[in-house]
Amino acid sequence: MNAGDPDPSTPALTKARRLRELLQHSRPVVSPGVYDGYSALLVEAMGFKTAATTGAGLANSVLGMPDIGVFGLRDNVDTCRQIARTISIPLMADADTGYGNAVTVFHVVQYFEEAGVVGINIEDQLDPKRCGHMRGKELISPREMTSKIEAGLKAKKDPDFILNARTDAIAVEGIEGTVKRIREYVAAGADMVYADAIRDEDDIRQVVEAAGDVPVQVNMGFGIRARPTTPLISINRLKALGVARISLPRLVPAAALLGMQKALAVLKECVETGEFVERPDLLVDMETITRLMKYERVNALESEFMSSEYLERRYRGTERDYVIHPKAE
């Protein structure tokens, strides 16, 4: 833990408050994008202090569809609930356009808050929305977006729950329209702001200036070669520009796809030759998986609550190591 970081062991420190303090004391907060239990647990195990669900990653992995607004509210909330309960670090979620008007957003905020995430992105695109780096985006009016922000703020029960107002105005209205919208969203009470598909450092500087004291998020495509919009900017430089949070939604899903491609290509060769070959360089071992999935916790619970006779009968002759809890003797 770095100097100035909040102490995660403090009992009164909720996940939402923890993220708030990180945004204040540990800028920029780096949030890798996650899309399932494996990716979320791995992000936490690797020492990252926050994570965020990737809207495109969820739509792609769960539905096998592009991020064009077909991944619905219930699908999103249910998936986020399962991911949030697997990790102890704060998890933010992508709520797309809020699935409707300001009244809809009021309920959407409560659904996500009840699911255990610490905040959501709400964007100002017109439905059906598009992934931030796709063409053909359309925007709702600034007034309609501010009404969504106001409804979301009124709906949240935890004052630390973060409403992150995203604008896709860069591609439609340029930096001038983006800055104007950022100012209006801040005035409406947004807890954080986010201009997607931003083009360069000058754009970032103007957005940070327009946001004032409100934290600014920037989206980075680390490792994504075909990225025609936001260039890769160093963490140190983003910090100097005043960025509070860096999200990397495509890093983990893209890395997972590459790993699967490589392994399946080897398997295809095995099928063609009729011979299996060992390729430990392509796969994590079972010990890594069981450690990531916290199998030892299940062993500990069995040792605490199950009788010694049950454990002896079930695991006799196996390699399972367990300690018999005094209660079970």
**Tens digits of per-residue pLDDT, 15-48?**
999 999 999 999 999 999 999 999 999 999 999 9
Q: Are residues 151 and 29 in the same domain?
A: yes
Enclosing domain of residue 67: 15-255
For residue 279, being part of any structural domain is answered with: yes
Of 152 and 13, the structure prediction assigns the larger pLDDT to 152
Amino acid at residue number 312: E
Query: Is residue 5 pLDDT above 80, yes or no?
Result: no
Of 7 and 62, the structure prediction assigns the larger pLDDT to 62
State the pLDDT at residue 129.
Answer: 75
What lies within 8 Å, CB to CB, of 78 at 6+ separation is 115
Query: Is residue 156 pLDDT above 50, yes or no?
Result: yes
Is residue 162 within 8 Å of residue 191, measured between CB atoms? yes
Please give the average per-residue pLDDT across 273-302, as a whole number.
Answer: 93
**pLDDT class of 322 with cuts at 50, 70, 90:** very low
**pLDDT class of 219 with cuts at 50, 70, 90:** very high
The C-alpha R_g of the chain, in whole angstroms, comes to 22
For residue 263, being part of any structural domain is answered with: no
For residue range 230-276, what is the model confidence (pLDDT) as tens digits? 889 999 999 999 999 999 999 999 999 999 999 999 999 999 999 99
For residue 74, being part of any structural domain is answered with: yes
Phi and psi torsions of 52, nearest 5°: -145, 135
What lies within 8 Å, CB to CB, of 112 at 6+ separation is 77, 80, 93, 95, 120
Calculate what percentage of the chain has a pLDDT beyond 70: 88
For residue 197, being part of any structural domain is answered with: yes
For residue 268, being part of any structural domain is answered with: no
Both tokens assigned to 175: 């930096």
Q: Are residues 66 and 128 in the same domain?
A: yes
Q: Domain ends where: 222, 255, 288?
A: 255
Please give the average per-residue pLDDT across 126-155, as a whole number.
Answer: 87
List the CATH number of the domain containing 72: 3.20.20.60
**pLDDT class of 102 with cuts at 50, 70, 90:** very high
Q: Are residues 205 and 307 in the same domain?
A: no
Q: Are residues 237 and 291 in the same domain?
A: no
For residue range 40-57, what is the model confidence (pLDDT) as tens digits? 999 999 999 999 999 999
For residue 314, being part of any structural domain is answered with: yes
State the pLDDT at residue 9.
Answer: 54
Q: Are residues 155 and 293 in the same domain?
A: no
Q: Domain ends where: 255, 287, 306?
A: 255
Q: What is the mean pLDDT of the chain?
A: 90
Query: Is residue 6 pLDDT above 60, yes or no?
Result: no
**pLDDT class of 329 with cuts at 50, 70, 90:** very low
Half-sphere exposure (CA, 13 Å, Cβ side) for 81?
Answer: 12
Amino acid at residue number 64: G
Q: Are residues 291 and 218 in the same domain?
A: no
Q: Domain ends where: 199, 221, 255?
A: 255
For residue 251, being part of any structural domain is answered with: yes
State the pLDDT at residue 323.
Answer: 41
State the pLDDT at residue 304.
Answer: 93
Whole-model pTM: value is 0.89
Q: Are residues 150 and 283 in the same domain?
A: no
Q: Are residues 246 and 307 in the same domain?
A: no
Residue 114 CB burial class (10 angstroms; 0-12, 13-18, ≥19): exposed
Q: Are residues 104 and 235 in the same domain?
A: yes
State the pLDDT at residue 4.
Answer: 54
Overall number of domains in the chain: 2
For residue 113, being part of any structural domain is answered with: yes
Query: Is residue 300 pLDDT above 80, yes or no?
Result: yes
Q: Are residues 251 and 309 in the same domain?
A: no
Please name which of 308, 299, 302 lies closest in space to residue 328, comparing C-alpha atoms: 308
Q: Are residues 60 and 167 in the same domain?
A: yes
Distance CA 53, CA 251 (A): 12
Q: Are residues 286 and 212 in the same domain?
A: no
**pLDDT class of 327 with cuts at 50, 70, 90:** very low
Please give the average per-residue pLDDT across 168-182, as a whole number.
Answer: 95
State the pLDDT at residue 247.
Answer: 96
